């Protein structure tokens, strides 16, 4: 029985996908896992690379294809949703096709923690930023970490911030507490899929059912691209979308039980908008 699912999201990442997958296969673990690769309609060779790994490692890797259609909002939410619904293991994590692991014990460390600490629904860690010019910077220095605790007790603490640092996609592992939850799976409908919006809501939903843990150990790399979807003029659109996102989840996902916290997040985005226009 497989214990962990690693969901790999790929879209036009032929330059990085092999490094991403190799970093998973190099992990030293004492449990069984599966890799689900979703190719989101790439126009490059990402699909061929993914298919090659699935053929070479049929006991570990499964490959799925998503047709990338017109989307009101950019993002890989449909790709994630399709793969998540196939994940029935005790734990799952998500890795973008251009990111990779640098500690061969990462998955074992996180599974061991979740196995021994049932009240916790997610555990993450420190990571490196890798910029397009080759520069590498730790997401959090030792001084940064001193500003935080290592545990988030509940959703309120997560939304208000200040307990644990924000952790990127590659660093977090989740206890699969929603795998048999009809309401949660209905939420992942095509109608509202664009409001999934990745890391934040994934972590917030799990914080609503348990504690979160931060480990101050760098174990993954998060790649920063200058040509990313949210640069330049798109920054304005990102802020507006984020405000709509917070309003949606405050009302529908959390049923207005955390309005104060979400309003605080909206105010932060409005301040960014004000600064944007002043420039």
With the CA atoms of 96, 118, 159 and 95 taken in that order, what torsion angle do they form, in degrees rounded to the nearest 10? 0
Q: 187 Cβ partners below 8 Å, 6+ apart?
A: 253
Torsion of CA 93, 172, 161, 157, to 10 degrees: 70
Separation between Cα atoms, residue 262 and residue 137, nearest integer Å: 30
d(CA 54, CA 38): 11
Q: How would you write the pLDDT of the chain (279 residues) with one tens digit per residue?
A: 899 999 999 988 999 999 999 999 999 999 999 999 988 878 889 999 999 999 999 999 988 866 665 555 555 667 787 888 888 899 999 999 999 999 999 999 999 999 999 999 999 999 999 998 999 999 999 999 999 999 999 999 999 988 999 999 999 999 999 876 665 665 555 556 566 667 888 899 999 999 999 999 999 999 997 644 444 457 788 888 889 889 988 988 888 999 999 999 999 999 988 887 776
Give the integer Cα–Cα distance in Å for 227 and 239. Answer: 18
Q: What is the rounded distance in angstroms from the CA atom of residue 220 to the CA atom of residue 208?
A: 26
Write out the two tokens for 272.
């960014």
Backbone phi, psi, residue 80, to 5°: -60, -50
């Amino acid at each position: 029985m497989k214990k962990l699912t690693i969901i790999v999201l790929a879209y036009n990442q032929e330059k990085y996908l092999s490094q991403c997958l190799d970093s998973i296969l190099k992990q030293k673990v004492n449990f069984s896992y599966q890799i689900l690769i979703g190719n989101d309609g790439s126009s490059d060779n990402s699909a061929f690379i993914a298919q090659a790994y699935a053929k070479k490692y049929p006991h570990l890797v499964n490959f799925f294809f998503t047709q990338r259609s017109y989307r009101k909002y950019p993002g890989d939410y449909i790709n994630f949703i399709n793969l998540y619904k196939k994940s029935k293991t005790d734990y799952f994590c998500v890795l973008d096709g251009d990111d990779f692991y640098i500690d061969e014990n990462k998955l074992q460390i996180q599974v061991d923690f979740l196995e021994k600490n049932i009240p916790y629904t997610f555990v993450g860690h420190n990571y490196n930023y890798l910029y397009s010019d080759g520069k590498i910077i730790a997401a959090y220095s030792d001084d940064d970490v001193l500003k935080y605790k290592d545990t988030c007790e509940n959703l309120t603490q997560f939304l208000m911030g200040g307990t644990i640092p924000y952790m990127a996609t590659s660093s977090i592992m989740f206890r699969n507490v929603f795998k048999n939850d009809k309401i949660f799976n209905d939420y992942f409908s095509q109608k509202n899929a664009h409001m999934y919006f990745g890391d934040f809501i994934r972590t917030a939903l799990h914080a609503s059912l348990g504690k979160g843990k931060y480990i101050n150990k760098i174990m993954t790399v998060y790649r920063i691209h200058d040509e990313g979807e949210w640069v330049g003029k798109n920054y304005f659109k990102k802020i507006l979308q984020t405000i709509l996102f917070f309003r949606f989840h405050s009302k529908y996902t959390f049923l207005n039980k955390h309005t104060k916290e979400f309003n605080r997040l909206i105010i932060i985005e409005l301040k960014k908008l004000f600064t944007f226009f002043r420039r």
